[in-house]
Structure formats: C-alpha cells, structure tokens
Amino acid sequence: MAANAVAGKNTAIISYLTLIGALIAITMNVEPKHEFARFHIRQAFGIHLLFHAFALFSSVWYNQYGLYGLYICYLALWFYGFLGALNNKKQLVPIIGTYFQKWFTFIQ
C-alpha cells in the first residue's frame, strides 16, 4: 500500500514541473491509476495552462505590471499546489481549483 502512495506522490510532484511535466505525469498515470496523482495532475495542468493563456494574451497587450501580477499569481498557485503534493494533501488551489477538477475530467 505504501508503494502505491509513493508512486502516486512522485507522479503528482512531476506534474508541477512545467507543462511538459504535467503531460509526462498524465502518461505516467495511465497504468496503474492513482487518485492522488490524478487530482494533482488536474491542478497542475490547469495552473500551467492558465499561465500560458494569460501570458499569450499579455504578449499582445504588453503591460509590465500586468506581467508582474501574472508571475506572482502563477508562483503562488504553483507553490500552494506543489506543497500539497509534497505533504500528501489533496487541497484545491484557491478560487479556481474546483474548476480545474471539472474541466479536466479527460485526465484519468
């Protein structure tokens, strides 16, 4: 039982290491499937995707202070989720975590 928790934890941690890490974690969680890893993959995938969407948007309408806010929000959400994965907690990231669990149901 402990080996399953460790395997799910490692996959969950990898999901927070960039968008590529989230994609790798999705493939790692295909077999065997871990609920803990799936939860954190959805959270991390959402955080990374949201960051890239806003970064693309801000590249069209450049605002230096807007970029500072984007990076601060991204790092705060990332750090919150990453600490949850490290501490074996399934805690939703503030405000948007529930949406990530609903939107990314294709991640099994």
Q: Which residue has the higher pLDDT, 26 or 61?
A: 26
**Dihedral angle over CA of 49, 91, 66, 104, nearest 10:** 20
How do residues 80-106 score in pLDDT, each as one tens digit?
Answer: 999 999 999 999 999 999 999 999 998
- To the nearest whole number, what is the mean pLDDT of the chain? 89
**Dihedral angle over CA of 7, 41, 92, 84, nearest 10:** 40
- Is omega for the bond preceding 32 within 30 degrees of 0, making it cis? yes
Predicted confidence at residue 1, as pLDDT, reads 45
Predicted confidence at residue 57, as pLDDT, reads 86
Instruction: Compute how many other C-beta atoms are within 10 angstroms of the C-beta atom of residue 70.
Output: 17
Q: Which residue has the higher pLDDT, 106 or 108?
A: 106
10 Å CB burial of residue 58 (0-12, 13-18, 19+) is middle
Predicted confidence at residue 15, as pLDDT, reads 94
How do residues 16-25 score in pLDDT, each as one tens digit?
Answer: 999 999 999 9
